[in-house]
Chain A
Amino acid sequence: MGQAIATTTNVLILSSMYILVALGFALLFSMMGLLNFAHGAIYTIGGYIGYQFAVRLGLNPWTALFLTTVIVAGFGAFLEKFCFRPFVGDFNRIVMVSVAITTVLQTLINIWESGEVLTLPPFVTGVLKSGRFAVSYQRLVTFAVGASLLGVATWFVRRTRWGQQMQAIAQNTEAAFLQGINVRRISMIAFALGCGLAAIAGCLMGSYIQLSPFMGDTMFAKVLILVILAGVGSIGGIFLTGLLLGALDAVLPLLMRGSFSDAIAVVIVVVLLLFKPKGFFGHEA
């Protein structure tokens, strides 16, 4: 019984963690069709910048989170203008630029912080206990922030003018341009938002797990699976696929040994894609 409760909690927490990290990537990939392989690295620098504010400068973790989000969003706008915009429409070069950004950022962090073990301070402390149920407030905050941001992102994309313009660009860039949409500005806004969301995820995960120059790599693989499974064009769909991936990752390690659980989870995802090639909620393949 105790293990069942712990596992259910783990499913919810893992899911919210994946959803949180996937949001920024999904915003760019699903809405704008931009495959930003550097998302994992942006998530990583988000965590490290948050660390500088929260630990080195001693700011309140929430203030550090806010400042980090603003800075990384600005960095995202810079990347869009100077690194991605010149290659729009050229998939190969976009991938190369993403990989280059990832390598440069990871190497800089590795040299800068060496191998020191770093973690952001917890955003909240304490454990909520009730009978056999026990979960830390920190994990609950991760869940709450993930769920809230998912709601806000869905609302933003569906209800706001900028969000609708993003959808228009994703469907047909030329038509959107002819309708008077400022494609460059909207792309920059999407990039800034995507990177800002990655920074929030990096700070929360850097507090919940640990900072590492390569923390983005593994998480990015999960995010890619999650967003593809949700389907291109769907922000809301990542809620369901996040829950599914969280369930697989929380339950399979209990049933089988180590690495098998990761491999089996990916195989299950591939099988699901055979039946749903456009993902669960995809508008287009």
Chain B
Amino acid sequence: MGKKGLILGMCIGLVFTGVSMFLLATPGAAQQAKTIKIGVLAAQSGWFSAIEVLDIQDLMNMAKMINAKGGLIIKGQKYDVEIVIEDIKSTFDGCTAAANRLVFDKKVKFVLGPGGFFGPAAAPVLNPNKVMYVLSYATTQPGALGAEYPYGFLANNASVGYAIVAMKALKKEFPNVKKLTVMMPDDGAAPYLVPALKRVHAQYGVTMVGDVILYPNEMQDFSPIAAKLDAMKDADAIQHAMGIPNQVGNIVKGLRELGNNKPYLGPPGVNGTDVATVAGAANATNMTCTATTPLDPSNPPIQNELLRMRTNDPKTRFMANLPNLLYILTNVMKAADSFDPEVVKAKWESLDTVDTINGKGYIGGDLTYGIKHHAVGYPFPYQRVQDGKVVAAHWVDVGVIP
């Protein structure tokens, strides 16, 4: 084929592709089901993606599951859920940019996420534009949830709800513990979270010893933190209020190597088997983890169904934050029989309970977050971990978050 022939062929190919794409994009070119677009702010790149990548996969499966079961029937019309994900790139700037794209380019009216401390980066975009958003985590730090953020909701037990789970685990597994050392990452949440934790401690008859121990999220070797914890001789046990698997694993390893065998209450979402992977089986002992045990028979059926739908799967980590957010939001939409954010928002605020994938959720959080009926507390399991093995998984009811 000569040069001219090649160029002509490429031109024909380009024209053909362009015409095909135009026809496909034209309304009416194909029969399209009605859909409700739900935006998602989650990390697909950057450090936080290590936490959210699996959760996004589970969310897509949750949407498939909802659609396969008939979608959402609103005012007699069937709608399929369409998930529109924007990558927050694990940065504040990335989160704000992603929120802008969802609101102004994708024109969504409902958003799931962001999680953790990224909320304040999205809230200033979502609230003025009256986009209802459901956070996948909150640390009690202001900026995304509260009276100034009327469109912000929380569909996760989050730090305070999980602290209730940890205290119930403590009472059952280590009933003699009265004094706790508390630690968490130094990400700005401590001044707000510690008072809330102390309120929960008081309800369960325990007190916090000394100041909260803070460490930088970027820390690589946690031996200095282990040495600091070991020096807290007054404490009967250690509570890791927030953290991720490598932090827990390395701190536990450091403590056990120092001969410190005090009970250790792991942070939410960190599985006992993951701790054992990092710390070594012999070190991951005498502890509880506020985490779901994948495929455990005691799990609600939806959870195990979601796990079986995973394609590439590690079955070790299962948080189901984003799937739960979608499940809860769509349940409120159905109850409101509307996709108008104002109506859905009002319905959420009027409800006392809502179905979650973990069972019945209770709507509250008035004292903790400073806004009435914007947070959900729902049942959650804890694991008893001994010698690197999850020896028991127990579900506890969180009830209404104060």
Instruction: Check: A178 CB closer than 8 A to any chain B CB.
Output: no
Complex alpha-carbon distance, A221 and B228, angstroms:
25
Q: Are B49 and A116 in contact (CB under 8 A)?
A: no
Q: Are B224 and A249 in contact (CB under 8 A)?
A: yes
Instruction: Check: A165 CB closer than 8 A to any chain B CB.
Output: no
Complex alpha-carbon distance, A18 and B220, angstroms:
10
B-side contacts of A115, CB under 8 Å: 49-54, 314, 317
Instruction: Check: B100 CB closer than 8 A to any chain A CB.
Output: no
With A110-B45, A136-B257 in contact, do A210 and B224 touch (Cβ < 8 Å)? no
Q: Are B214 and A258 in contact (CB under 8 A)?
A: yes
Q: Are A218 and B45 in contact (CB under 8 A)?
A: no
**Interface residues of B toward A: which range?**
35 or more
Q: Are B227 and A213 in contact (CB under 8 A)?
A: no
Instruction: Check: A38 CB closer than 8 A to any chain B CB.
Output: no
With A212-B246, A218-B218, A262-B216 in contact, do A116 and B224 touch (Cβ < 8 Å)? no
A-side contacts of B219, CB under 8 Å: 253, 262
With A115-B317, A253-B215 in contact, do A7 and B45 touch (Cβ < 8 Å)? no
Q: Are B278 and A210 in contact (CB under 8 A)?
A: yes
Name A1-43 residues within 8 Å CB distance of B. Answer: 2-3, 6-7, 9-10, 13-14, 17
Complex alpha-carbon distance, A219 and B316, angstroms:
27
Instruction: Check: B231 CB closer than 8 A to any chain A CB.
Output: yes
Q: B52, B185, B214 — which one has the most chain A CB atoms within 10 A of its CB?
A: B214
Nearest B residue (CB) for A253: B224
Interface string of A84-100 (1 = CB under 8 A from B): 00000000000000000
Interface string of A208-235 (1 = CB under 8 A from B): 1110111101110010000000000000
Q: Are B50 and A110 in contact (CB under 8 A)?
A: yes
B-side contacts of A267, CB under 8 Å: none
Instruction: Check: A119 CB closer than 8 A to any chain B CB.
Output: yes
Count: A-B pairs, CB below 8 Å: 127
Q: Are A213 and B223 in contact (CB under 8 A)?
A: no
Q: Are B224 and A2 in contact (CB under 8 A)?
A: no
Complex alpha-carbon distance, A214 and B49, angstroms:
10
Instruction: Check: A261 CB closer than 8 A to any chain B CB.
Output: yes
Q: Are B246 and A13 in contact (CB under 8 A)?
A: no
Chain A, interface SS category: helix
With A117-B277, A117-B316, A210-B246 in contact, do A261 and B258 touch (Cβ < 8 Å)? no
Name A116-155 residues within 8 Å CB distance of B. Answer: 116-119, 122, 125, 127, 129, 134-136
A→B interface (CB under 8 Å): 2-3, 6-7, 9-10, 13-14, 17, 107, 110-111, 114-119, 122, 125, 127, 129, 134-136, 205, 208-210, 212-215, 217-219, 222, 249-251, 253-254, 257-262
Interchain residue pairs A-B with the least CB separation, the first 4: A258-B186, A258-B214, A210-B246, A116-B314
Provide a sorted-by-A list of 20 A–B residue pairs whose CB atoms are within 8 angstroms.
A2-B258, A7-B224, A9-B223, A114-B57, A115-B54, A115-B314, A117-B277, A117-B317, A134-B257, A135-B257, A205-B220, A212-B50, A213-B50, A214-B46, A218-B220, A219-B220, A249-B221, A253-B219, A259-B214, A261-B216
Inter-chain pairs besides A6-B258, A250-B224, A259-B216, 16 sampled, C-beta below 8 Å: A2-B230, A9-B223, A10-B223, A10-B227, A110-B49, A110-B50, A117-B245, A117-B274, A135-B257, A136-B257, A210-B245, A212-B246, A214-B47, A251-B224, A253-B219, A258-B216
B→A interface (CB under 8 Å): 45-47, 49-54, 57, 185-186, 214-216, 218-221, 223-228, 230-231, 245-246, 249-250, 253, 257-259, 271, 274, 277-278, 280, 312-314, 316-317
